[in-house]
Amino acid sequence: MDRNSIDDPIPGQRANGGRIVGPTSPPSHPLALAPVTAPPHSVDGFVREFLRELNTGQGVALSQSTVNDQYLALARTVRHYLMARWLETVRHNRESGAKVVGYLSAEYLLGRQLDNALMATDLGDVAEKALASCGLDLATLREQEVEPGLGNGGLGRLAACFIDSLATMSVPCIGYGIRYEYGIFRQTFVGGRQIEQPDTWLAMGGPWEFPHPEAAVRVDFGGYTETYDDDGTERTRWVPSWNVLGIPYNYMVPGYQNGRVNTLRLWSAVATKAFDLAIFNAGDYAEAVRAQTFAENITKVLYPEDSTPQGKELRLQQQYFFVACSIRDFIDRILGEDFDLHQLPERIIYQLNDTHPVIAVPELMRLLVDEKKFEWDEAWEITRRCFAYTCHTLLPEALETWSTDLLGRLLPRHLEIIYRINDQFLTQVRDAFPHDELRVRRMSIIGDYPERSVRMAHLATVAGSKVNGVAALHSQLLADKVLPDFSALWPEKFTNVTNGVTPRRFLRMANPALSSLITDALGPGWVTDLDRLAELEPYAEDAEFRREFRAAKETNKGRLRALLARRDGIDLPEGHLLDVMVKRLHEYKRQSLKLLHVVTLYDQVVSGRVDPETITPRTVVFGAKAAPGYRMAKETIFLINQVGATINADPRVAGRLTVAFPANYNVTLAETLIPAADLSEQISLAGMEASGTGNMKFALNGALTIGTDDGANVEIRELVGDEHFFLFGMLEPEVAALNSIGYKPSAHYESDPDLKSAINLISSGAFSRGDRHAFEPVVSNLLYHDRFMVLADYRAYVDAQARVEAKFADPEAWTRSAILNVARTGFFSSDRSMRDYLNRIWRAAPDR
Ligand code: NBG
């Protein structure tokens, strides 16, 4: 694989650290001590900055500018206000020597940046007035921003919430990740089926990023290893066969009105040699640029699988690429040559966000042993203290493995290091559990079946100083069922940190109506101290407050109605129970259970069993992307769309039942959708959803949850109380028991007339213009396979929905419960999650 030769990078560029050659002390000037000052917070000051950006940045006059020019100028203007704080934060970090959290994540689902930056700087009103004085509308400019969708779902969004919280809590943190040129695909529907389109988020300019090509880092791949004599010591070195450059792009991560701006550093791959002039001159243009195309593929596109890795070589390249860059960045550029790496664990803790960055473990070992010439044991001691691992799943198919063939071809030295780590580890296992070779095989980092491969979760668990799950139930199941041998060997290694969400984006910013109601009652402090929401409890008994709370919900429904009309041409009825299920499409999450409920409601009316006048008017909203290669998920989307189209066109249920499935659910849509919801659907099969974080966002915005005893639902219910949560379905031990005796879905179909009738209606062609086979894959999957026990929980679910309707009929009781949901879920702030990580795992502290 001789795509690139091992040349020095572009002349004038230094791969390792990009330090500038020149005088030993950095340039200075008295005026540079305060390098940039924030522009004045006045409307006039803002106008001046904005016009300057428009003129000198975009090169246009206001009168000639396009909306995109105006958006870009506005973004850069707001950026100026953060700049001084950013530079100051970086300087302070360097000088204080405080321990840094290096959050390693292949995904960051950031959401739009403009509003967040306006909120962090408290410039929303100033910007609005300033723009208005120029004849411009902030809301219109805001709509121009394409959100950076550099993640698939919960895992990537969690990373974004965490870095927000760390900045707000003044904890030094660098988020490290990948700058995908194309993020999560844009979903559209054609004939009810999902079509994926590339996400061209950078097409109109990226005003929030700061590229630093001069600080490029070289990353090697391929080749072989050899031993050599190093003054009497035998050492190994890696002789790679090709390489690429990683260019850092920095993004600001502003704390909430606290003067701190942390950094998110995303890496982009380019070729070490732009093209081969000799080949070009000889006339083969395609061949001349091949190396470049090849290198740039590494960060071209985000893999769209959520929770089900495909084991593709390019993905391993992505993973190694970004962690190799990130470790180099910290050791060579931030710490520098003089730093004694024995002290590394005092300066950084790398948090591994799932197994995607785990190849960082052998990479740090390689750096210490091969390059810095540390003894193996010493290097291992340092490495172990520098990493901690978060597991985000319970699905066995989601645990990443890499075939040793592939890994050895791409990273031969890393594979050797992994083997040696494994040898030492298995010796330890044999010492602790003599004569138990079965256990040794189960625990080995190297698996043999179905092919010889590296089990990344095992490597992470062996290397990590701590291993955590993401909700109480998940951490328990992780220790008991996913990694039981490891928790038996190292019980103290395992811990829980329940996920959280940032109250800034998902309450303060997304729900201005409820936010101001809360601020009127409690003052503004809750935004950074969400436990204070508890003080809302007494207001649940206050009729006037309840009225205002309902009014806020109505306002939010109005905003959603306007958005969906504009965005999707969807006409959302008024006065309905707004029932929302938004998350990735996955069988274990059971969108098909929600769908069976919808079909049942419809069936009851059209069959004449129920008088439509007696049912609770309800609008069911779905939002979900399916991985492009996940057939069952895509068939489910098709079914939902066809059922929705039929129901929405049927006069017999008009005004009573509506289904809306806006395409391309993303963070931006979530911000309008979640605050409008009455009912939050969290209906995964118990024991399958590690945590869920949407569930937290809904509760904090005053929706009631209908949910199973799964993931963080368990903790939500414990906190809000049984009367304010609609629990249904089997518990995890019941699921396990049913699995062990053998589950027969068809028995439920036969014994429950409503279920039978609903499934028959789907198979009858009623939703497919008479085509009885249109939904065959979904129907037969439910009847004969049903791995996630949809049919087993159907009856309990439909009954729980009847309880929902009974309660919704009493608006005062419903509102009381909704207020208590808000008041009792302050625990789910990601600030609290970060405190838990700091205390239980990182042993680092805020740096004020
Ligand atoms: C997801 C889980 C969710 C959880 C998020 C964040 C993966 C691998 N896991 O339940 O499915 O909320 O991680 O922890 O994407």
For residue 13, the model assigns a pLDDT of 42
667-676 helix and 543-568 helix, angle to the nearest 10 degrees: 140
Residue-averaged pLDDT of the chain: 94
What is the DSSP pairing of strand 618-623 with strand 577-582?
parallel
Residues sharing a CB contact under 8 Å with residue 657, sequence separation 6 or more, in sequence order: 598, 601, 602, 605, 615, 617, 618, 619, 620, 647
For residue 24, the model assigns a pLDDT of 60
Among 155, 308, 473, name the best residue to mutate to test ligand 1's pocket (greatest count of ligand atoms within 8 A of Cβ). Answer: 155
Catalytic residue among 584, 618, 724, 824: 584
Which pLDDT band holds residue 294 (cuts at 50, 70, 90)? confident
678 C-beta closer than 6 A to ligand 1: no
691 C-beta closer than 6 A to ligand 1: yes
Average pLDDT of the segment spanning 313-336: 97
For residue 658, the model assigns a pLDDT of 98
For residue 777, the model assigns a pLDDT of 97
Residue 307 CA: nearest ligand 1 atom is 8
What's the pLDDT tens digit per position in 360-390? 999 999 999 999 999 999 999 999 999 999 9
Average pLDDT of the segment spanning 414-436: 98
Average pLDDT of the segment spanning 744-750: 98
What is the DSSP pairing of strand 467-469 with strand 494-496?
parallel
For residue 34, the model assigns a pLDDT of 60
Residue 306 CA: nearest ligand 1 atom is 15
Average pLDDT of the segment spanning 759-771: 97
What percent of the chain shows pLDDT beyond 90?
89
Handedness of CA 218, 264, 358, 166 (dihedral sign): positive
For residue 321, the model assigns a pLDDT of 98
Q: Based on the residue annotation, tell me whether 583 is a catalytic residue of this protein.
A: yes
Q: Based on the residue annotation, tell me whether 693 is a catalytic residue of this protein.
A: yes
Which pLDDT band holds residue 35 (cuts at 50, 70, 90)? low
Average pLDDT of the segment spanning 244-264: 97
For residue 848, the model assigns a pLDDT of 63
Question: Please, which contacts does 706-710 make with residues 24 or more away whose CB atoms are closer than 8 Å?
Answer: 706/679, 706/680, 706/681, 706/682, 706/797, 706/800, 706/801, 706/804, 707/680, 707/681, 707/682, 707/683, 708/682, 708/683, 708/684, 708/793, 709/473, 710/473, 710/682, 710/684, 710/685, 710/686
State how far the Cα of 233 lies from the Cα of 700, in Å rounded to an integer: 61
Whether 639 shows a pLDDT value over 50: the answer reads yes
For residue 396, the model assigns a pLDDT of 86
Cβ neighbourhood burial of 691 (10 Å; 0-12, 13-18, 19+): buried
What's the pLDDT tens digit per position in 192-209? 999 999 999 999 989 999
pTM, entire model = 0.96
Of the listed ranges 277-281, 441-445, 769-773, the one predicted with least confidence: 277-281
CA of 154 to the centre of ligand 1 (A): 5
Whether 11 shows a pLDDT value over 50: the answer reads no
For residue 668, the model assigns a pLDDT of 98
Give percent helix, percent strand, percent coil of the chain, each to the nearest 5: 55, 15, 35
690 C-beta closer than 6 A to ligand 1: yes
> What's the DSSP call for residue 537?
G
Half-sphere exposure of 634 (CA within 13 A, CB side): 15
Residue 354 CA: nearest ligand 1 atom is 8
> What's the DSSP call for residue 182?
B
Of the listed ranges 37-41, 353-357, 399-403, 640-644, the one predicted with least confidence: 37-41
Q: Based on the residue annotation, tell me whether 594 is a catalytic residue of this protein.
A: no
Of the listed ranges 267-281, 340-354, 810-824, the one predicted with least confidence: 267-281
Whether 122 shows a pLDDT value over 90: the answer reads yes
What's the pLDDT tens digit per position in 279-292? 778 888 877 777 77
What's the pLDDT tens digit per position in 487-510? 999 999 999 999 999 999 999 999
Which pLDDT band holds residue 22 (cuts at 50, 70, 90)? very low
Whether 66 shows a pLDDT value over 70: the answer reads yes
- Whether the Cβ atoms of residue 457 and residue 391 lie closer than 8 Å to each other: yes
Q: Based on the residue annotation, tell me whether 99 is a catalytic residue of this protein.
A: no
155 C-beta closer than 6 A to ligand 1: yes
CA of 504 to the centre of ligand 1 (A): 21
CA of 152 to the centre of ligand 1 (A): 10
Average pLDDT of the segment spanning 310-334: 95
Q: Based on the residue annotation, tell me whether 589 is a catalytic residue of this protein.
A: yes
Catalytic residue among 583, 618, 717, 824: 583
Q: Retrieve residue 59's tokens.
A: 């090169």
Q: Retrieve residue 514's tokens.
A: 């409820």
Average pLDDT of the segment spanning 28-33: 72
Which pLDDT band holds residue 1 (cuts at 50, 70, 90)? very low
688 C-beta closer than 6 A to ligand 1: no
Average pLDDT of the segment spanning 322-347: 97
Whether 405 shows a pLDDT value over 60: the answer reads yes
Q: Based on the residue annotation, tell me whether 498 is a catalytic residue of this protein.
A: no
For residue 594, the model assigns a pLDDT of 98
Whether 6 shows a pLDDT value over 80: the answer reads no
Whether 2 shows a pLDDT value over 70: the answer reads no
Which pLDDT band holds residue 3 (cuts at 50, 70, 90)? very low
What's the pLDDT tens digit per position in 796-846? 999 999 999 999 999 999 999 999 999 999 999 999 999 999 999 998 778
Average pLDDT of the segment spanning 732-750: 98
Degrees to nearest 5, angle at CA 383 with 377 and 384: 90
For residue 280, the model assigns a pLDDT of 75
Whether 27 shows a pLDDT value over 90: the answer reads no
